[in-house]
Structure 1
């Protein structure tokens, strides 16, 4: 179990770090920055935040909190998606808090990493993981997914604002 705990701790560090940097970037943006897209083919920060929150809902809340999957993935990518800065910050906090809560749950029961949390549930919507996936594979997919999109958020924030100010505490 030592390897399982080390892996969970590593993911916790990763998600806490991603949360910190993403929130710092969002705090430096205006309402217009949140909803503007770098190009006509690009997603806005609002789209990316909604997408991260949607992925967390369909992949984690359904297991951890037994909430039915009601995700509308297409809406996450609507052009011109409206979202206030406060909404973006709240959605980001919520998404990361749920991820961290799930990892803390796994940490208290590391054998669950090899469980198949979706096995007896309805088919997943809009997911790269299937109902036979393990909790370990799910979390590896979430590390990749979240890191990819938080990188896009920070890059879009830099495009909008130029230099961002980082607090390394």
Structure 2
């Protein structure tokens, strides 16, 4: 397997893992929770999801051939809370990820060093992929943080629960012996 093929396999898995973490967080939230904001400078989970999806559709549609900031995108509108339900939120969520994974599945190792554009600025496809991974992971982190704050003791940990690190380590070592 070439380095490029392995990179594409790994980065697709990272995107899937990031998506999965976001979904596990969102599923713990109520209809009211998805609209909660701390203050006017904050975004609700609904707004974050709307922004993520808008970004994904813009960046990943025709990833190699058109500027990642599509003329049809209304980024400012993404920050208006117009999502009416958790079901609608999940439909918007899936729309963005579907576009991303479709385009990722079509990428080949030889595409990684091609120049793509975002707002007229050239990037290697590899750099643009990494840029998007970091962007999405930071927003998923916001969703998780909001969820933890709202759910408190009722939050189901998405990783190793506090105080359980040694137990988890021993389980992993036993599993891989």
Which stretch shifts more, 140-149 or 49-58?
A: 49-58
Instruction: For 2:11 and 2:88, locate their aligned partners in 1 and report how far apart those are by CA, in whole Å.
Output: 25
Give SS of 2:61's match.
helix
**Structure 2, unpaired ranges of 5+:** 160-177
Q: 2:76 aligns with which of 74, 77, 81?
A: 74
Q: How much is the aligned-residue C-alpha RMSD, in angstroms?
A: 2.5
Tell me which residue corresponds to 1:105: 106
| Shift, 1:22, TM fit | 0.9
Larger RCO (alpha carbons 8 Å, 6+ apart)? 1
Please tell me whether the aligned partners of residues 52 and 95 of structure 1 are also in contact (alpha carbons under 8 angstroms). Answer: yes
Instruction: For 1:43 and 1:22, locate their aligned partners in 2 and report how far apart those are by CA, in whole Å.
Output: 15
Tell me which residue corresponds to 2:35: 35
| Shift, 1:20, TM fit | 0.9
**Structure 1, unpaired ranges of 5+:** 125-129
Tell me which residue corresponds to 2:155: 164
Instruction: For 2:41 and 2:111, locate their aligned partners in 1 and report how far apart those are by CA, in whole Å.
Output: 40
What CA deviation, in whole Å up to 9, does each residue of 1:14-40 have, x standing for no partner?
111111111111112111111111333
The yes-or-no answer on 1:140 pairing with 2:142 is: no
Please tell me whether the aligned partners of residues 114 and 135 of structure 1 are also in contact (alpha carbons under 8 angstroms). Answer: yes
Instruction: For 1:161 and 1:40, locate their aligned partners in 2 and report how far apart those are by CA, in whole Å.
Output: 21
Instruction: For 2:143 and 2:155, locate their aligned partners in 1 and report how far apart those are by CA, in whole Å.
Output: 12
| Shift, 1:50, TM fit | 1.0
Paired positions, count:
156
What CA deviation, in whole Å up to 9, does each residue of 1:124-150 have, x standing for no partner?
3xxxxx442221111011001000001
Larger Rg belongs to: 2
Please tell me whether the aligned partners of residues 49 and 91 of structure 1 are also in contact (alpha carbons under 8 angstroms). Answer: yes
| Shift, 1:159, TM fit | 1.4
| Shift, 1:81, TM fit | 3.9
